[in-house]
Amino acid sequence: MAANEEMFSLSFFIWYGLVLFIMFGYALIWQQILKHVPLTVAFSNKPVGLVWGMVWGTLFFQEVITWKMILGAAIIFAGIYLVVTGDE
C-alpha cells in the first residue's frame, strides 16, 4: 500500500508505520508462542502462513493461485510432516 503513495508523504509514512507495527506485533506473538509451545509444534505450524498468504493475496490483491503455488505448498507440508513424524 505504501508503494502506491508518493515517497515521503504523510500517507506513505502512515502505511509504512502500520506495516512496522504489524511486524512488531507478529514478533511479540511469535516469541510468546516459542515460550509456551514445543519447538517442533511451533515450527511445523508456521508454514500455514503460506496458505493464508495465498488466500489473503487472492482476496485483497486479486492474485491468481496457480497449480505451481499449490504444488509448492503441498511439498512444503509433506516435508514438515516427514520431519515431525520422523522422531516417532
Extents of the domains making up the chain = 1-36, 38-88
pLDDT score of 1 more than 70: no
pTM: 0.60
The average pLDDT across 2-24 equals: 88
How far apart are the C-alpha atoms of 11 and 62, rounded to whole Å?
23
pLDDT score of 36 more than 90: yes
Given the C-alpha cell 500500500, which residue does it identify?
1
Given the C-alpha cell 512444503, which residue does it identify?
76
> Burial level of 51, CB count in 10 A (0-12/13-18/19+)?
middle
Measuring CA to CA, which residue among 21, 1, 20 is closest to residue 11? 1
Identify the band that residue 44 occupies on the pLDDT scale cut at 50, 70 and 90: confident
